[in-house]
Amino acid sequence: MGFRLSKIYTRTGDKGETGLGDGRRVPKDHPRIEAIGEVDTLNSQVGVLLAGLAVELPVYPGLEEVIKVLAPCQHRLFDLGGELAMPEYQALSTPEIERLEAAIDVWNEELGPLENFILPGGSTLIAQAHVCRSLARSAERRCQHLNAVEPLTGVGLAYINRLSDLLFVVARVIAKRQGVAEIFWQAAVKPQE
């Protein structure tokens, strides 16, 4: 992409509209803009998670594998944002989904079967991975809503779905690498009659 911003503010959005890559102007609450915004929020939070992982790397070297898998996801989320902003643009491809699935499969082998519901927490990194997972689900819902209004092409919907699965597994892997017990959900105690 050769286009670069030379000026950050343009004043063209002051009346509640914004421009898409194809030249269309849409309201800032258009489903396409909502989807772009949720993907951007997710990307920002993945950045927070990666920064936290990098800080803890000297103490927990096993986190390096998580960083290697997650770091490209920021770039692919930016690609997805580009696809949403420019409907004819296709950047994501099936091999990227397969890359996520391969990481999920390897880590699930290491973790073993899940026998309980897990709550976000145990460490800041685990909780941040769950924040990212929940934001991935939110971004997926926004993209699905857009797809109902303006059908999407490409593999973006599958990618965001698989990324949310990956982030759940990432939370579990972080717990194992940090030696932190996962927090299991406990049902409320029923009142005695």
At 11 the pLDDT is 63
> In which domain, by residue range, is 128 found?
28-182
* 31 C-beta neighbours (distance < 10 Å), count: 19
This prediction's pTM: 0.88
**Closest residue by Cα to residue 150 from 35, 50, 14:** 35
Residue 88 has a pLDDT of: 86
User: Is residue 112, in this structure, part of any structural domain at all?
Assistant: yes
Q: Give the count of domains, the chain.
A: 1
Contacts of 3 (CB under 8 A, 6+ apart): none
The residues pairing with 25 across neighbouring beta strands, listed in sequence order, are 19
190 falls within a domain? no
State the first-to-last Cα distance of the chain, in angstroms, to the nearest integer. Answer: 68
Q: Does residue 2 fall inside a structural domain? A: no
Residue 32 belongs to some domain of the structure? yes
Domain assignment present for 65 = yes
- Of the pLDDT bands very low, low, confident and very high (cuts 50, 70, 90), residue 63 is very high
Q: Is 143 a domain residue?
A: yes
| pLDDT score of 27 | 66
177 occurs within a structural domain: yes
| Residue 44: CATH number of its domain | 1.20.1200.10
Q: Do 173 and 110 meet the contact criterion of CB atoms below 8 Å apart?
A: yes
Phi, psi for residue 184 in degrees, rounded to 5: -90, 140
Whether 16 is in a domain gets the answer: no
Are 50 and 128 in contact, with CB atoms under 8 Å apart? no
- What integer is the mean pLDDT of 45-69? 97
